Amino acid sequence: MPAPTPEQLQRGQRLPLAALTAQRTLTVQVNLPGMNDADLSLFGVNEQRRLADDRYFIFYNQLSSPERALGLDLPRSEFHIELDRLPPSIHRLTVAATSDSQTFAALGAGRVHLSDQEGVKATFDVPGNVFQAEKAVILLDLYRHQGEWRVTAVGQGFNGGLQALLESMGGEVVNDTPAPSPSPAPTVPPQPGGPLPVQQWPPLNSSPLFPATGNTCRRCQARSSLLNRLDAQGVCGRCQREMAEGLRQFRLRFVDACADSVMEYREWQDLQAFIDRERISAHRALEFVRPDALRFLERMFALARSDGQITQEEETTFHWMVKHLEVPDTMVAHLERELEELKQAAQLRAGNLPTIRSSIMLEAGEIAHLECSATYRHVTSTRTRDIPGKLVVTNRQVHFLSPGEGGWNIQYAKVLQIEELPDGVNLALGVKKGNGYYHDVHQPVLLGATLDALVRINKRLLMMPQTERASRSIPQKVKLEVWQRDQGKCVECGDNNYLEFDHVIPHSKGGASTVNNLQLLCRRCNLQKSNRI
């Protein structure tokens, strides 16, 4: 009885392995005519498509995995795979070819054979005319899905060769070349996979599709049929379903990359590699994760602003992320306003104070720098009441005026501490009159910064910040640990919007900027806590 004809896989096609064979011992043989020095490699990666264990990276220097479930026969250019012997942590096997000296445009009629012990079960043609400058090609994927193994004919080019491919999967390249003797060397720009300024990162680009013909799918080249119609973009129904699943998987990878509120270059590269491998639109992918991208930007901004200032690097990173994550300006307008406030506050703290026309009559030589509405919380042994009014901050003193209560002046020499709160400031004075909490301020950051600068100027301490905000900087490591512990949510109400780092024991009362004394509160709960204090 003649052997059954092997299944001819098309580029991008996925199907259950059980549709090809019931056996669990497989062979993947690769034929790449025209490629003189192509190297084959096999990556055994986890559910997040990361190479968590280097022992499951099979190539010319490591021909088998520890339990011999994976092996490479170099003379025959084939991999031996025993699926039942793989550990549960290995979720995907990716077969790839790389070259150091040639691009895969030189490839002739390449072919991949998938076989079991009975013979060839599937073939996949890989012609070189679909490639240009790529020095690596992902050929085939075997992966677990809902308890069963599936196979995908990939045929996707990848720039950068073996090193870039390995780094995109979380592996590290060890350079065994002896270091040369020290000598002056020209400056070398950062290489892919190493530290690279965010402004030099390339944007995420869509995987290219085949030219539109009207009767073949632009993604997999399958012919249009009654059961597999093309949509308006020229993509067949099967590819539409695969791309929808690809978007869901992209979201999982994006959320995982943003979990620590910091996007690293290798994680950005991994997102691009996933787009290339799954052949999905970068614009659609970013549109799909837009709510997650906005939450990531808010977390990143909260970490940056927690010490009351934004560095140039933090600002550059924020704007780059907004642009390249394609988040509309209207969705980050509130963050942009806060950013401008913080930049303005930095100028104020440096002594660059504006001059305004005051609504009250000042003494000769007295210059007004800020005027704003405020409510003073008057606390006695028997009751607490709010006194509405306004603050006029001048170069000599602070005036508080209330229509029904009169007012008072605060001399800067009497100011011992300024504590910035979410909706105002708390002034600790050397006298009783005027000491306390001024709230319902429209821009409390600017009020605190102006008072900070004027107090330091008055005390000849301009270079020594005295405000609570300026002196309670939280180390980045502590911020991240608190964020992870509180799961990026307000510990009071569980909200994940407008989050702020709060000292459980106020810094003004001796509380330290440590993990155990910090918590995440949303702005509403932080205001309620300030009211209780």
pLDDT at 184: 38
The rounded Cα 389 to chain-centroid distance in angstroms is: 44
CA 521 centroid distance within chain: 22
**Domain end among 348, 376, 398:** 348
Mean pLDDT value of segment 185-210: 65
With 80 as the cut, is the pLDDT of residue 120 above it?
A: yes
Residue 162 domain-assigned? yes
pLDDT for res 293? 92
More confident position, 203 or 222: 203
Give the pLDDT confidence of 390-414 residue by residue, as tens digits.
999 999 999 999 998 889 999 999 9
Q: Is a pLDDT exceeding 70 seen at residue 154? A: yes
Whether 133 shows a pLDDT value over 90: the answer reads no
On whether both 445 and 494 belong to a single domain, the answer is no
Same domain assignment for residues 442 and 524:
no
Side chain identity, residue 200: Q
Would 191 be classed as within a structural domain?
no
Taking all residues of the chain, what is their mean pLDDT, rounded to a whole number?
84
For the four alpha carbons of 173, 177, 180 and 182, in that order, the dihedral sign comes to: positive
Same domain for 382 and 292: no
- Statement: residue 182 has pLDDT above 70: no
With pLDDT > 70 as the criterion, what percentage of the chain qualifies?
89
Please say which residue of 145, 169, 193 terminates a domain: 169
Q: Is residue 521 part of a domain?
A: yes
The structure tokens 């991008």 sit at 12
* Co-location of 379 and 520 in the same domain: no
DSSP calls for 26-70: EEEEEE-TT-SS-EEEEEEE-TTS----GGGEEBTTB-B-TTSSE
Give backbone dihedrals phi and psi of 4, rounded to 5 degrees, phi first.
-65, 150
Q: pLDDT per residue over 240-272, tens digit each?
A: 888 889 899 899 889 888 887 788 888 898 899
Split at pLDDT 50, 70, 90, the class of 114 is: very high
Is the domain of 250 the same as that of 148?
A: no
Report the number of distinct structural domains present in the chain: 4
Residue 436 reports pLDDT greater than 70: yes
Q: Please tell me the distance from the alpha carbon of residue 351 to that of residue 345, in angstroms, as a whole number.
A: 10
DSSP 284: H
User: Does residue 358 form part of some domain?
Assistant: no
Give mean pLDDT, residues 332-345.
Answer: 88
On the question of pLDDT at 530 being above 70, the answer is no
Say if residue 179's pLDDT is above 50: no
Same domain, 76 and 156: yes
> Cα–Cα distance between 410 and 432 in angstroms, integer?
11
Specify the CATH number for the domain of residue 416: 2.30.29.30
* Residue 498 neighbours by CB under 8 Å, 6+ apart: 298, 522, 523, 524
The pLDDT value recorded for residue 53 is 84
Phi and psi at 144, nearest 5°, equal -85, 140
Domain of residue 480: give its range. 476-529
- Residues 340 and 439 reside in one and the same domain: no
pLDDT at 277 over 80: yes
More confident site: 262 or 366 = 366
Query: Would you state the pLDDT for residue 8?
Result: 92
Judge whether residue 186 has pLDDT over 60.
Answer: no
Q: Does residue 359 sit within a domain?
A: no
pLDDT score, position 178: 39
Structure token pair of residue 425: 């400031």
Is residue 149 domain-shared with residue 269, that is, in the same domain? no
501 in the same domain as 453: no
Residue 126 has pLDDT above 60, yes or no: yes
Banded model confidence at residue 232, pLDDT cuts 50, 70, 90? confident
Structure tokens at 41: 């490699």
| Predicted pLDDT at 199 | 79
Does residue 208 share a domain with residue 157? no
Q: What is the pLDDT of residue 256?
A: 84
Final residue in a domain of this structure, among 459, 492, 516: 459
Alpha carbon distance 145, 151 (integer Å) = 10
Nearest to 331 by CA among 322, 340, 339: 322
User: Which comes out higher in pLDDT, residue 446 or 351?
Assistant: 446
**Structure confidence by residue, pLDDT tens digits, 14-72:** 899 999 999 999 999 999 998 888 899 999 998 888 888 888 999 988 899 888 899 99
Helix (H) or strand (E) holding 238: helix 237-257
Quote the radius of gyration of the chain (alpha carbons, Å).
31
Is position 161 within any domain?
Answer: yes
User: Is the residue at 363 inside a domain?
Assistant: no
CATH number of domain containing 514: 1.10.30.50
Instruction: Quote the pLDDT of residue 31.
Output: 92
Both 493 and 443 in one domain: the answer is no
Is the domain of 21 the same as that of 129?
yes
Nearest C-alpha neighbor of 368 from the set 391, 351, 344, 393: 393
190 pLDDT higher than 50: no
Residue 259 covered by a domain? yes
